[in-house]
Chain A
Amino acid sequence: GAGVSQSPSNKVTEKGKDVELRCDPISGHTALYWYRQRLGQGLEFLIYFQGNSAPDKSGLPSDRFSAERTGESVSTLTIQRTQQEDSAVYLCASSLAGGRTGGYTFGSGTRLTVV
């Protein structure tokens, strides 16, 4: 597609429920990143995909968080047993083979609110 698409744009969930967030990167972009942005704060790195593999998962905050990518395209970020501290905007970005010189293209994010 023309840009990075994320869905849903907004999600309100009850504490303890599981949620799935989806990212459709730009076609042909092999690198895909997930970030989290808490209110009033900067972006925290969560996980990096190169193709379908995730060589860097160092930012996932706990084992309640997991992500996968299939077909070198769509990625889903799953949060199990959500907690109130998981409330944030979750951003996805993609780039051609890592964005060292070109930067990344970000999606508009999914705003997750855990009540």
Chain B
Amino acid sequence: GDSVTQMEGPVTLSEEAFLTINCTYTATGYPSLFWYVQYPGEGLQLLLKATKADDKGSNKGFEATYRKETTSFHLEKGSVQVSDSAVYFCALSEAGGYNKLIFGAGTRLAVHP
């Protein structure tokens, strides 16, 4: 079945460092891809999305590009802030079917001043 694999955390960075969180997927057809973020004590929020190959999703300085050839959707940010500390989840929405989201295990990011 469809699945999502993302890099294990925790990822610890200093403020203004460059961030990459790797995400790869296995799917039949052409899924939509998402990054969700869970800040401490809060619910999941959609961070960005891409619905077809070569699309780039972006929000709050974060970017991810839908790479069909490598089945990847890596999350990047050029300069992280302490407020970016959270757990990041990569997810896909199956092509066809009932569009349920399949999540990766999550990557915890801690940014220190």
Contact = CB atoms under 8 A, between A and B. Distances in A.
A101 B51 contact: yes
A41 interface: yes
Contacts of A106: 36, 43-45
Nearest to A55: B98
Contacts of A103: 34, 36, 46, 49, 93
A1 interface: no
B43 A100 contact: no
Interface string A43-75: 101001010000110000000000000000000
A84 B97 CA distance: 33
B102 A99 contact: no
Contacts, number: 61
A99 B42 contact: no
Nearest to A106: B44
B12 to A, nearest CB: 16
Nearest to A41: B105
Contacts of A102: 49
Interface string A78-102: 0000000000000101010011111
Contacts of A31: 98-99
Interface string A11-55: 000000000000000000001010100000111010010100001
Contact of A107 (B43, B102, B103): B43
Contacts of A104: 46, 101
Contacts of B89: 42-43
Given A91-B43, A100-B99, A104-B46, 15 more contacts: A33-B100, A35-B103, A41-B106, A42-B89, A42-B103, A42-B105, A43-B44, A91-B44, A99-B99, A100-B32, A103-B49, A103-B93, A104-B101, A108-B43, A109-B43
